[in-house]
Amino acid sequence: MLVVTGGAGFVGSNLIEALNQSGREQILLVDDLTDSSKIANLTDLTISDYADKDEFLTDIERNGIPEFVKGVFHQGACSDTMATDGREVMSTNYVYSKKLFLACAGVGIPFIYASSASVYGKEGPFHESGEGEKPLNAYAYSKFLFDRYVSSERARINNQVVGLRYFNVYGPREDHKSRMASVAWHIVAQYHEGGVVRLFDGSGGYGPGEQRRDFVHVQDVARVNLFFLDNPSISGLFNVGTGASRSFNAVALAAINACRDVDGDPPLTLSDAQDQKVLSYFPMPEALTGKYQSFTEASINQLQSVGYLAPWTTLEDGVSHYARQRYQALKAN
């Protein structure tokens, strides 16, 4: 049996879907379902059991990892980058992760966990060497510190341990994330509500909507996780992104035109969308001033060096398909 913590969340539920598609159905889903909206992510998935996240950890502390568990995907976290309760963030993301990591190490089973590109701060460089790590908020610091802790323990453990630094993930099963959902999710919601989309004005030396991120489809993220499950001799810390940054304007245009296609309207160019005020801009909120990543781009050399050479979903294909699917669902409700 495999354990997926955060299994009802965005990446976790897509990972379970990928496991099911690969023929794996013996899955223990661990999560906190206080927010029952996450259950919508689970209705088409096959699992063998469920455990509340706190009860799961208590049981492990008392009895250790059950013998039937053959590996753990640790995706659970407080993922709110604007969270102000640092104590809660550190308890959930750092302390919990340490205990689970040590339990897996104690019985020698694979531990594959979600880190984050947020550890790189505003400027990078965005590679795993450590020199660009400048976390800007409690969430980023919790991920940064756990990566450092795992690195310090590597010499004395024998099990597979893989940390995956996700860049800007988007795709299905993120409705429950609300304000922390991807920019693609928000763009479709805006277009559905009023036929217009607004992005941040220029920042960090970039013009309006020209800030650039490495946008990666959630199904690609799930495939990377499965690659390491299937290659248990490989351990390490790896970026998970496409290796190519794209502008927020590019995401917006792909999503807008997917929605327009559903409505039977012709596609727009970027200048058309701007001229017609379908796409406009607003000032950066004060809460994000000085804390906003205007540019990210994953260095994926380390991931490629261990044999992960699968193609990445293009932004045009990934955003267009996702936006069309989400817009149709919104129109149906």
Residues 230-245 pLDDT 10s: 999 999 999 999 999 9
Q: Is 315 left (phi over 0), alpha (psi -120 to 50) or beta?
A: alpha
Q: 53 an active-site residue?
A: no
Same domain, 220 and 149: yes
Do 142 and 253 share a structural domain? Answer: no
Please count the residues of the chain: 333
Q: Report the predicted TM-score, pTM, of the whole model to 2 decimal places.
A: 0.96
Q: Which range is least confidently modeled, 125-134, 149-158, 217-226, 283-292?
A: 283-292
> What gap in Å lies between CA 64 and CA 322, rounded to an integer?
40
Q: How far apart are the C-alpha atoms of 43 and 98, rounded to whole Å?
A: 31
CB 297 within 8 A of CB 246: no
CA distance 18 to 45: 10
pLDDT of 200 over the 80 cut: yes
Same domain, 183 and 271: yes
Range of the domain at 234: 2-170+216-244+299-305
**pLDDT-based confidence at residue 291 (cuts at 50, 70, 90):** confident
Residue 193 CB burial class (10 angstroms; 0-12, 13-18, ≥19):
exposed
d(CA 331, CA 229): 39
Place 23 in a pLDDT band, splitting at 50, 70 and 90.
very high
- How far is residue 264's CA from residue 21's CA, in Å, rounded to a whole number? 33
Residue 290, pLDDT above cutoff 80: no
The pLDDT-based confidence of 15 (bands split at 50, 70, 90) is very high
Q: What is the pLDDT of residues 75-88, one digit of tens each?
A: 999 888 888 889 99
- The whole-number pLDDT of residue 124 equals 84
Which residue carries 């976390």 as its tokens?
135
- From the candidates 177, 206, 291, 308, give the one annotated as an active-site residue: 177
Backbone angles phi, psi at 96, to 5 degrees: -60, -45
Same domain, 328 and 188: yes
Q: Give buried/exposed letters for 250-283 (b at 16+ CB in 10 A, else e).
A: bbbbbbbbbbbebeeeeebeeeebbeeebbebee
Peptide bond into 285 cis (omega under 30): no
pLDDT tens per residue, range 261-278? 999 999 999 999 999 999
**206 class by beta-carbon count within 10 Å (0-12 exposed, 13-18 middle, 19+ buried):** middle
Would you tell me the crossing angle of helices 96-107 and 138-153 to the nearest 10 degrees?
A: 20
In the annotation, is 177 catalytic?
yes
Contact 298, 214 (CB under 8 A): yes
Share of the chain above pLDDT 90, in %: 89
pLDDT at 204 over 80: yes
Asked if 105 and 29 sit in the same domain, the reply is yes
The catalytically annotated residue of 96, 113, 120, 139 is: 139
Q: For the chain, how many structural domains are there in total?
A: 2
Q: Which two tokens stand for residue 29?
A: 């889903």
Does 136 share its domain with 200?
no
The answer to whether residues 260 and 238 belong to one domain is: no
CATH at 191: 3.90.25.10
Mean confidence (pLDDT) of the chain: 95
Residues 198 and 275 placed together within one structural domain of the fold: yes
Contact 101, 3 (CB under 8 A): no
pLDDT at 295 over 90: yes
For residue 115, pLDDT beyond 90: yes
Q: How confident is the model at residue 214 (pLDDT cuts 50, 70, 90)?
A: very high
pLDDT in tens, 49-85: 999 999 999 999 999 999 999 999 999 998 888 888 8
Are 74 and 95 found together in one domain? yes
Reply yes or no: is the peptide bond before residue 125 cis, omega within 30 of 0.
Answer: yes
What does the pLDDT read at residue 83? 84
Rounded CA separation 307/67 (Å): 30
* Pair 49, 41: CB distance under 8 Å: no
Which pLDDT value is given to residue 84?
85
DSSP 259-281: HHHHHTPPP--HHHHHHTTSEEE
Residue 333 pLDDT exceeds 90: no
Residues 239, 269, single domain; the answer is no
- Residues 262, 239 share a domain: no
Domain holding 164: CATH number? Answer: 3.40.50.720
Task: Measure the CA–CA gap between 42 and 31, rounded to whole angstroms.
Answer: 12
Q: Is the domain of 201 the same as that of 289? A: yes
What is the tens place of the pLDDT at every residue in 124-156?
899 998 888 999 899 999 999 999 999 999 889
Residue with tokens 């004060």: 286
CA nearest to 209, candidates 250, 181, 180, 169: 250
Q: Whole-angstrom Cα distance, residue 253 to residue 183? A: 12
Contact 18, 223 (CB under 8 A): yes
